[in-house]
Amino acid sequence: LAIFADDKRYWKIFEPVICELDRRGFGVTYLTASPDDPALQSNIKSMKCEFIGDGNRAFGKMNFLKATMVLSTTPGLDVYQWKRSKDVQWYVHMMHGMSEIAAYHMFGIDFYDALMLSGAYQERDVRNLERIRGLPKKEIELIGIPYMDCMMTRIREAGPVEPHERTVLLAPSWGKSSVFGHFGGRIIALLLETGYHIIVRPHPQSFTSEKEMIDTLMAEYPESAQLEWNRDTDNFEVQRRSDIMISDFSSIVLEYALGFDKPVICMDTEFDIGPYDAWWLDTPFWTDTALPRIGRILTEENLPKLKALIDESIDDASFTSSRHQVREETWVYPGAGAARAADYLVRKFKALTELDKREEAQSC
């Protein structure tokens, strides 16, 4: 079994599954496109880890890989630079977020053999796409979300947060449709007017693609006793010590609301489904149905009343039950994700190798 990660940030997605496979004595080869991937420093005994180059060099190596199975969270197999190798029998996709599989760019998962998913609505969308496009049915295994299971364990082990002043975490995504793309620095100014402690955590991509804007905002609103700019590699602590998150169309909203069970405020944004698999479907875009159920919506009209919106969101428990409903829809088998993923991978690997043995015996 080979595992391909096109970026180091996906180590947290794979690590729980690899640890479970290691516990069973099942070896894997981890192929990463990041020279500083934490996996390279891991001491997991049954895992061999290799940096295979970045960008197209990594895809070039994957295109000629020899392996029984490949597990990856990278969409676009056999669509973009990454092609199916003739020497790989089976490709398995595991999601790296907790929402839409139809939010991948078009044809993102069409040429995988199997998918490990976390909710029935995802399976519905996959089957509809297969029917519309005339694709063979993939194997689908509902496993849950292994990395979220790990986060829940961390939350329990960390214990309750010490008493603190009310703290707001502003965690925008990047691009024109983000919080900063819509409101710019106005939202930071309004947050400072609340008197609450403010943590601003831009998307990592913003420091590359929107560097000029971020530099301007950081100069206009410098760090102080009230305001901090956060770039921690691990976002666990800033989520843990905040009382509410303000964000936009980002998977971090769901992780925060459903993992930490805390209120969120989501910016009202129109998500253009044109480039994505969702465009082909006439079923509801699940995230559009989920966001209004986990928190209040921030608009241009209610932005001036941001403090009241924050206070109402924190003090009103009416969203608690609907958050739990959303969690049930997108996170099946909580606590069992890694075990269920390992069950499928081991079972499938054994079936493929047994098939190889039978075919080899018949050819003799």
Residue 229, strand partner residues: 200
Q: What is the pLDDT of residues 22-41, one digit of tens each?
A: 999 999 999 999 999 999 99
Q: Are 200 and 228 in contact (CB under 8 A)?
A: yes
Could you report the per-residue pLDDT of 310-322, keeping only the tens digit for each? Answer: 999 999 888 899 9
pLDDT digits 0-9 by tens, 187-197 = 999 999 999 99
Alpha carbon separation from 262 to 154, 182, 229 (Å, rounded)? 16, 24, 21
Give the domain ranges of the chain.
Answer: 2-145+333-363, 160-330
Query: Across the chain, what does the average pLDDT equal?
Result: 94
What pLDDT was estimated at residue 8?
Answer: 94
Tell me what the mean pLDDT of segment 7-36 comes to.
97
At 249-294, the pLDDT tens digits run 777 899 999 999 999 999 987 777 888 999 999 999 998 899 999 9
> What is the spatial distance between Cα 28 and Cα 11, in angstroms, rounded to a whole number?
14
Compute the C-alpha angle 118/63/59, nearest 5°.
75
Q: How far apart are CA 187 and CA 190, in angstroms?
A: 5
The residue type found at 50 is E
- The predicted-structure confidence for 98-155, as pLDDT tens digits, reads as follows 888 998 989 999 999 999 999 999 999 999 999 999 999 999 999 999 999 999 999 9
Q: What CATH number has the domain spanning 160-330?
A: 3.40.50.2000
Q: What is the mean pLDDT of residues 156-167?
A: 95
* Spatial distance between the Cα atoms of 87 and 7, rounded to a whole number of angstroms: 23
pLDDT attached to residue 364: 62
Domain 2-145+333-363, CATH number (from 3.40.50.300, 3.40.50.150, 3.40.50.11380, 3.20.20.140):
3.40.50.11380
What pLDDT score does 251 carry? 79
Q: Which of 158-172, 262-276, 321-335 has the least mean pLDDT?
A: 262-276
What percentage of the chain has pLDDT greater than the value 90? 83
Q: Which residues contact 334 (CB under 8 A, 6 or more apart)?
A: 144, 145, 148, 149, 152, 327
Distance, CA of 112 to CA of 72 (rounded, Å): 10
Q: What is d(CA 253, CA 246) in angstroms, rounded to the nearest whole number?
A: 8
The domains spanning 2-145+333-363 and 160-330 adopt the same CATH topology: yes
Q: Say how many residues make up the chain.
A: 364
pLDDT tier at 173, thresholds 50, 70, 90: confident
Res 239 pLDDT > 80: yes
What's the token pair of residue 321? 């039950």
